[in-house]
């Protein structure tokens, strides 16, 4: 086909139906924009977080740390004097809580003379008239981002929490060089140890090796010499840990964004299919005049490619803008909480932009492939005749490709994850969607043919006309059915998954929060814990019948993975299910084989293979110890793993008598308000956080909703695109049937009856699409709930059906389909009946 003719056909189609082309472009734009924006946001946050973590390591070759948050500083001279070490920098890392503010401030206690050799960027910059502030016990230096966050400047006083007491420090100045958005503070190492009650403790020692020393061999020797007590890591390991922790979240967001692109691909398909059907006689005439099949094929593919190229180009620009706005307004977390303490800025990524541009263009071309093939293969003589439109889609009614997709999708659900990602689960969802949509022509033919046999007197004139049309043109009806199906199935699947997760989290919180009042001390790990005296004071508060104390300690089991949480609390060994949401099998005292029991979360089973009855070894500063896994419990708070053990066993193992939290059961007649007032009256009461179970549940569910805010947005976008597709399909089919309506008008059917017929057709199609979409969406939700979620985040959940939400969206789709058909029909029947059919004379 010559270029002028191809250009004339393309421009003519767009001029006659500009809205349909714009909707297809908008669908591709949305899919590309969302995917590109999410990728840019995640990449910016991850890169900034990794760069900030590297800046804390300075120029060190290795970092030596304990499995637990801190270790005895007596090990520092051993490491510093070890053969092959050129310089050693001791560091105490503290996450200090702030009064009346969410989050914590990361404080680095450093030896300024040692840090100058390895991490000079972290040195504080004192005022010119106070050069020794870097050694003062009351001085702290804040990064620019921390000063902005806390609204402080040099010379101000900052109040922190240290154990059960407030700690006031003087802001002595800024930090030599800190990354933009990095909220950190530094102070003298000895001052930090004293002020925060951590005398003699270190978090890590950074080592710079002498020239010529083999880093891998040196690290391996350290691991052998300090097995179970210390772990040697490289600066790159922190990036690996962050990547492993946030990878599933980032991949899932990208997959959700691609859902919108998939829906856009179907909209392009329906647009091109209807365009080819409407122009079937035009293409046949071009074939008669000498245009080859290849020319027609290329023409239709070209039209789809232009839609994809324009949509992808606009989507790349829109995605960059969305990413910039989102990073400025919400930071890089997108609700996930994986990148705290950084303020990333968007950076354009040409390779990623090219990938998303090609993906959007390819999706549009693939959406045009079937219509293009049909247009090229159609025989000119039959195609020139009116009424052959439904025959053009007859090949779509073959059920075997659809059934093959469904069977292959079901098979993929049995396969394990790939590198911790549910790759086959995602493929199964895609195949189910494709198979379900491809099965619509056969489904429409069976259902509407059966309905068409209903006697006309039972359904009336309008009903008989609507059923006759659907029964005799099922292939055209299947295009509209596919739009309803894809939109509703995705909404059902996502709605069931999110609702199931939310209800499961709520039920889990009820199980975990049996007490009347919960008390939390400030800080994490060894900072802010309550000592024995504070515990006795809490237990003796009037109105407290029993105080169950808990200890939370991060425990690093392997450098490549984030720390797991070791939780020590009161657990009844004879009935652990009273305190733990156990998931199934457990073993009792008779099977412990004389070892100390622990109960591991589901993530520990997936990540470390800690099955019930297995013996595991846990490290600590007190040395390694073997435990037996007595059961598995469900944990929605920590996807990296958690281990629970009895508090008495923990204290006997580590000698640590401090705690972080307390669950208070009140005496009969005591009120929460009275007990809270009494706790606040304690000398350290002002530093404690108090919460009732209902408050904790409400706050947790708010965090849940914020974490899934992007999921809700992407789900809404997919539904909107699907509604656009429904509207475009119905309007295109209705306008293409102007001659049919003219003929009906000739034989006595009134305009109101034609409009009622169209509304009935739209309602019946939507109702059928909703029914099949619900079944398909339910199947997809099973994959999301029982395969994708456990493989991504290592926890299981119960299935919950959000009937109210599903009914609301189904009603909206039903009304939208009927309303769109009615509105388009008003335009189709607005003309003169004679003029509508004059081409047939």
Tens digits of residue pLDDT in 139-184? 999 999 899 889 999 999 998 877 667 889 999 999 988 877 788 9
Number of separate helices (H) and strands (E) present in the chain: 28, 22
| 233-263 residue pLDDT tens | 887 776 676 666 667 666 777 776 677 677 6
Question: How many angstroms separate the CA atoms of 279 and 482, rounded?
Answer: 21
Q: Does the pLDDT at position 132 exceed 80?
A: yes
Question: How many angstroms separate the CA atoms of 718 and 30, rounded?
Answer: 9
CA distances in angstroms from 532 to 207, 409, 747, listed in the order given: 36, 58, 95
Per cent of the chain over pLDDT 90 is: 30
Instruction: Give the distance from CA 271 to its chain's centroid.
Output: 31
Which range of residues forms the domain containing residue 369?
Answer: 1-57+254-381
> What is the pLDDT at residue 570?
92
Whether 184 and 146 have beta carbons less than 8 Å apart is answered as: yes
Helix axes 18-57, 350-377, angle to 10 degrees: 150
Q: What is the mean pLDDT of the chain?
A: 83
Whether residue 210 sits in one domain with residue 314? no
Q: Which residue has the higher pLDDT, 55 or 77?
A: 77
Instruction: Give the distance from CA 228 to its chain's centroid.
Output: 35
Dihedral of CA atoms 268, 272, 278, 282 in degrees, nearest 10, equals: 160
| 302-353 residue pLDDT tens | 888 888 899 999 999 999 998 888 777 766 555 555 555 566 778 888 998 9
Q: Does the pLDDT at position 692 exceed 60?
A: yes
Task: Read off the pLDDT of each residue in 733-740 and give the average, rounded to a whole number.
Answer: 69
Residue 391 lies in a domain: no
b/e sequence 245-261, b meaning 16+ C-beta within 10 Å: ebbbbbbbbebbbbbbb
By CB atoms closer than 10 A (0-12, 13-18, 19+), residue 788 is buried
Q: Which residue has the higher pLDDT, 816 or 830?
A: 816
Least confident of 37-41, 85-89, 321-325: 37-41
Residue 392 lies in a domain: no
Number of compact structural domains in the chain? 4
Least confident of 33-42, 402-411, 480-489: 480-489
**CA count, 13 A, side-chain hemisphere, 692:** 10
Two tokens, residue 311: 């949509």
Residue 710 lies in a domain: yes
**Beta-strand pair 139-142/165-175:** parallel
pLDDT bucket at 469, cuts 50 / 70 / 90: confident
Of 691, 713, 742, the residue that ends a domain is 691
Sequence-ordered list of residues with C-beta below 8 angstroms from that of 296, at least 6 positions apart, any chain? 1, 283, 286, 287, 372, 375, 376
Residue 240 lies in a domain: no
Dihedral of CA atoms 471, 475, 480, 481 in degrees, nearest 10, equals: 70
Whether residue 425 sits in one domain with residue 348? no
Whether residue 531 sits in one domain with residue 679? yes
> What is the pLDDT at residue 239?
65
Residue 239 lies in a domain: no
Residue 21 lies in a domain: yes
Least confident of 92-101, 433-442, 722-731, 800-809: 722-731
Of 649, 669, 691, the residue that ends a domain is 691
Least confident of 137-141, 465-469, 711-715, 771-775: 711-715
Of 200, 233, 266, the residue that ends a domain is 233
Helix (H, G, I), strand (E, B) or coil at 235: helix
Whether residue 261 sits in one domain with residue 229? no
Task: Read off the pLDDT of each residue in 286-315 and give the average, rounded to a whole number.
Answer: 85
Whether residue 798 sits in one domain with residue 686? no
Whether residue 26 sits in one domain with residue 80? no
Q: Which residue has the higher pLDDT, 390 or 748?
A: 748
Task: Read off the pLDDT of each residue in 692-706 and give the average, rounded to a whole number.
Answer: 84
Residue 393 lies in a domain: no
What is the DSSP code (8-state) at residue 578?
G
Q: Does the pLDDT at position 630 exceed 70?
A: yes
Whether residue 774 sits in one domain with residue 700? yes
> What is the pLDDT at residue 483?
67
Question: What is the pTM (predicted TM-score) of this model?
Answer: 0.80
Whether 210 and 35 have beta carbons less than 8 Å apart is answered as: no
> What is the pLDDT at residue 753?
84
Q: Does the pLDDT at position 384 exceed 80?
A: no
CA distances in angstroms from 687 to 101, 258, 405, 675, 682, listed in the order given: 12, 46, 60, 16, 10
Residue 244 lies in a domain: no
Whether residue 777 sits in one domain with residue 752? yes
The residue assigned the tokens 């990413």 is 323
Q: Does the pLDDT at position 389 exceed 60?
A: no
**Beta-strand pair 615-618/661-666:** unpaired
Distance between terminal CA atoms of the chain? Answer: 31
Whether residue 328 sits in one domain with residue 205? no
Whether residue 650 sits in one domain with residue 599? yes
């Amino acid at each position: 086909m010559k270029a002028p003719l191809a250009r004339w056909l393309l421009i003519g189609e767009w001029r006659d139906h500009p809205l349909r082309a714009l909707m297809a472009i908008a669908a591709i734009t949305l899919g590309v924009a969302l995917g590109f924006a999410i990728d840019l946001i995640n990449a910016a946050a991850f890169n900034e977080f990794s760069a900030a973590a590297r800046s804390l390591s300075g120029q060190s070759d290795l970092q030596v740390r304990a499995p637990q948050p801190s270790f005895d500083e007596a090990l520092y001279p051993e490491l510093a004097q070890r053969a092959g070490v050129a310089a050693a920098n001791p560091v105490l890392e503290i996450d200090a809580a702030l009064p009346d503010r969410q989050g914590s401030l990361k404080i680095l206690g450093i030896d300024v003379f040692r840090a100058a050799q390895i991490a000079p960027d972290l040195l504080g910059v004192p005022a010119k008239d106070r050069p020794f502030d870097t050694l003062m016990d009351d001085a702290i230096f804040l990064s620019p981002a921390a000063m902005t966050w806390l609204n402080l400047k040099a010379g101000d006083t900052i109040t922190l929490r240290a154990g059960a007491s407030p700690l006031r420090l003087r802001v002595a100045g800024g930090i030599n060089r800190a990354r933009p958005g990095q909220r950190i503070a530094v102070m003298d190492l000895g001052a930090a140890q004293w002020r925060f009650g951590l005398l003699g403790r270190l978090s890590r020692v950074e080592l710079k090796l002498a020239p010529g020393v083999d880093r891998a061999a040196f690290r391996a020797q350290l691991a052998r010499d300090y097995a179970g007590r210390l772990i040697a890591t490289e600066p790159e390991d922190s990036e690996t840990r962050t990547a492993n922790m946030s990878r599933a979240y980032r991949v899932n967001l990208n997959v959700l964004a691609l859902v919108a692109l998939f829906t856009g691909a179907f909209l392009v398909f329906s647009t091109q299919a209807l365009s080819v059907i409407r122009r079937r006689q035009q293409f046949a005439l071009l074939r008669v005049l000498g245009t080859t099949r290849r020319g027609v094929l290329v023409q239709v593919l070209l039209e789809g490619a232009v839609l994809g190229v324009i949509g992808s180009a606009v989507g790349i620009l829109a995605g960059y803008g969305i990413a910039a706005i989102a990073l400025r307004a919400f930071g890089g977390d997108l609700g996930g909480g994986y990148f705290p303490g950084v303020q990333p800025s968007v950076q354009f990524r040409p390779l990623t932009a090219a990938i998303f541009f090609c993906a959007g263009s390819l999706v549009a071309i693939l959406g045009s492939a079937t219509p293009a093939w049909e247009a090229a293969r159609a025989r000119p003589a039959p195609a020139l005749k009116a009424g052959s439109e439904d025959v053009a889609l007859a090949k779509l009614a073959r059920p075997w490709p659809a059934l093959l997709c469904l069977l292959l999708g079901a098979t993929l659900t049995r396969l394990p994850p790939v590198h911790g990602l549910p790759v086959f689960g995602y493929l199964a969802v895609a195949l189910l969607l494709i198979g379900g949509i491809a099965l619509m022509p056969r489904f429409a033919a069976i259902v509407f043919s059966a309905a068409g046999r209903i006697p006309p007197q039972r359904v009336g004139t309008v009903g008989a006309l609507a059923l006759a049309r659907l029964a005799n043109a099922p292939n055209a009806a299947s295009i509209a059915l596919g739009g309803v199906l894809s939109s509703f199935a995705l909404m059902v699947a996502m709605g069931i998954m999110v609702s199931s997760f939310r209800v499961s989290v709520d039920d889990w919180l009820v199980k975990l929060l049996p007490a009347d009042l919960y008390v939390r001390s400030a800080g994490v790990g060894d900072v802010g814990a309550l000592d024995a005296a504070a515990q006795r004071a809490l237990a003796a508060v009037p109105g407290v019948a029993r105080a169950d104390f808990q200890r939370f300690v991060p425990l690093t089991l392997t450098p490549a993975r984030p720390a797991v949480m070791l939780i020590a609390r009161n657990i009844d060994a004879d009935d652990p299910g009273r305190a733990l949401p156990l998931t199934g099998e457990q073993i009792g005292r008779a099977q412990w084989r004389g070892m100390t029991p622990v109960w591991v979360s589901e993530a520990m089973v997936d990540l470390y293979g800690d099955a019930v009855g297995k013996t595991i070894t846990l490290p600590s500063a007190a040395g390694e110890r073997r435990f037996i896994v007595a059961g598995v419990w469900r944990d929605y708070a920590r996807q990296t793993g958690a281990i629970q053990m009895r508090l008495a066993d923990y204290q006997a193992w580590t000698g640590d008598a401090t705690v972080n939290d307390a669950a208070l059961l009140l005496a009969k007649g005591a009120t929460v308000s009275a007990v809270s007032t009494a706790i606040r009256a304690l000398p350290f009461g002002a530093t404690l956080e108090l919460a009732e179970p209902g408050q904790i549940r409400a706050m947790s569910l708010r965090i849940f909703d914020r974490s899934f805010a992007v999921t809700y947005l992407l789900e809404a976008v997919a539904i909107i695109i699907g509604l656009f597709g429904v509207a475009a399909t119905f309007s295109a089919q209705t306008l293409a049937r102007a001659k049919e309506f003219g003929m009906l008008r000739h034989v006595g059917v009134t305009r109101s009856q034609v409009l009622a017929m169209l509304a009935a057709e739209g309602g019946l199609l939507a109702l059928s699409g909703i029914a099949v979409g619900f079944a398909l969406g339910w199947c997809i939700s099973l994959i999301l709930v029982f395969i994708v979620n456990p493989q991504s985040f290592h926890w299981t959940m119960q299935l919950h059906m959000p009937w109210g939400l599903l009914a609301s969206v189904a009603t909206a789709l039903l009304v939208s389909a009927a309303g769109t058909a009615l509105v388009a029909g008003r335009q189709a029947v607005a003309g003169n009946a004679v003029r509508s059919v004059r081409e047939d004379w």
